[in-house]
Each structure stands twice: as C-alpha cells, then as structure tokens.
Amino acid sequence: MSGAPRVKELLEIIHRIESTHLSEVVSHRQIILPQLGAPGVAAHEVKRRSSFRVIYGPVRAHDIPEFLNAGMKTSAEMREVNFNLSDRTVLIPVELVQWSPYALAVALVLFFLAGVSRNGYILPGWTGGREVLIVIVAFITGSALTPIFLPWLPGRALSVKGMISGLIFAIVLVFAGLIPSAQTGGQLETAAWILLMPAIAAFTAMNFTGSTTYTSLSGVKKEMRFAVPAQIIVAMLGLSLWVTARFF
C-alpha cells in the first residue's frame, strides 16, 4: 500500500528548487507544476521543505492561458485526462517498435516451419510468405487496430478487445482466401489461425495497458490472471493444429 509518502522519490522537485536557487530568482513563493506530475510530487512536502507552494496547472498546455485568467484555478475539464482517437493513435508507433522484433521472430519461425511436409523438407516460397503475412496482420490487429477501435470493441479487458479483433481478422482472411480452407489441410490451417490470430492480437492488445490513461494496476493484474493462461493455451492449441496441417 502506498499510504505514507516515500519521501526519497519525491525530493526531485525540491532538489531542483534548491539547485536553481529559485528563491533568489523570484520574490514569490509559488510554483506551478503540470497536474500530471502529481504522482511524483507531494505538494505539502515541497511546501514544508522549500517554502514553495505547489499549484497544479492544467493537464494540457493549451489550457494555460485560461488557467491563468481564472486566477490559477483549473476547471474540471482542464483536470480531466481524455483518451480520444488522436491520443491513442500517437501511441501506436511505440507499440509497433516495441513488439515488432518478437512478431518478426515468430513470423520467421513459421516461415521456415512451413516447409515441413510428409514428403520431407523443402524451403518454403509463397506458402511461407503467406504465413509471415498472417502473423504480421495479427500483430498489427492487436497493437494498432485495437487501440484505434478501442471504445467500439466489446469487453473491458484489453485482451478481450484484442481477441475479438483478432477473430474478426482471422475470419476476414479466411474469406479473402489468404488462409487456406480447402480439404483437411486447409481446414486444419483455418482452425489453427482462428486460434492463433486472436491469441497474438490479445497478447499485443493486453500490452497496450501500459499506454492507456485509464487502466489501473489492480485491473491489469486481474486481467492478466485470466488472459495470460488463456493466451498460452489457445496459442499452443493453434500451433499444434498448424503443425498438424503441414502433414496433410
């Protein structure tokens, strides 16, 4: 529990006030801090140790003029953090950069495994390329499309939202003919991707929890308790079906 303030971490702003000799630079004893800095500041400790009174400004810089005009008072709207489309979209590159090495590793493994058949091994051409493409679609579904469509996807847990978008795209790819569905081999491959794509998208979407402005630590822990085992089981099942499909 974080009841008592852990003073050591909160001294940063006090050190800054001291090292810049702020009290000699200005005659007043007020310091305006951005509101979103508050999880790392204890205003009453700053006051006690530096004599500066902390005033929390608005969340967004463009509200500063209005904040000043109102006598350094924030309105409820100024204090509210949103998570609208543009807020979500700017975070997508971070997700893509962070997870693309893993996605590419998975794609490469599937590329080479795609050469396995009952007649032995041949280096896969288009068949392997197709598997790579499907992995990339699943990855983008979880880390880019799920954040974009976040408010409109059903469920509250991000892994559930990711799973649903993964499932939608798996069905789309089956109908588009990218995932083969003919004969036993195709049916196994379809079943495999119907499991694998939601698992991949659920996992990457779940990791968007670190970027959102509304998910709590307790919630993420609860989500992970059911989502991670589910993702592992579904992925293992999907992978077994996928490997089996090679032999038909």
Partner 1 sequence: MLRYLENVVTLQLDTETCNGCGMCVNVCPHGVFNVQDRKAAIVDKEACMECGACALNCPVNAIKVQSGVGCATAIIMGAIGKKSECSGSCGGSPAANAANKSGSCGATK
Residues lying near partner 1 in the complex (CB under 8 A): 1-6, 8-10, 35-36, 38-44, 56, 59, 74, 76, 79-81, 83, 98, 150-151, 156-158, 206-207, 209-210, 212-224, 228
Residue number with CB closer to partner 1 (30 or 184):
30
What whole-number distance in Å separates Cα of residue 157 and Cα of residue 45?
A: 37
Residue number with CB closer to partner 1 (114 or 235):
235
Residue number with CB closer to partner 1 (216 or 240):
216
Residue number with CB closer to partner 1 (35 or 190):
35
Shortest CA distance to 33 belongs to which of 13, 63, 3, 8?
Answer: 13
Residue number with CB closer to partner 1 (195 or 206):
206
Contact 87, 60 (CB under 8 A): no
Residue 96 tokens, joined: 């893509």
Minimum CB distance to partner 1, residue 2 (Å): 5
Minimum CB distance to partner 1, residue 20 (Å): 21
Q: Is the dihedral of CA 39, 45, 47, 51 positive or negative?
A: negative
Contact 201, 149 (CB under 8 A): no
Minimum CB distance to partner 1, residue 148 (Å): 13
Question: On the CB side of 23, how many CA atoms lie within 13 Å of its CA?
Answer: 12
Minimum CB distance to partner 1, residue 73 (Å): 9
Residue number with CB closer to partner 1 (3 or 177):
3
Minimum CB distance to partner 1, residue 76 (Å): 6
Minimum CB distance to partner 1, residue 104 (Å): 18
Query: How far, in whole angstroms, is CA 76 from its chain's centroid?
Result: 27
The H-or-E segment that residue 99 falls in is: helix 92-113
Which pairing describes strands 120-121 and 116-117: parallel, antiparallel, or unpaired? Answer: antiparallel
DSSP assigned state of 155: S
Contact 31, 22 (CB under 8 A): yes
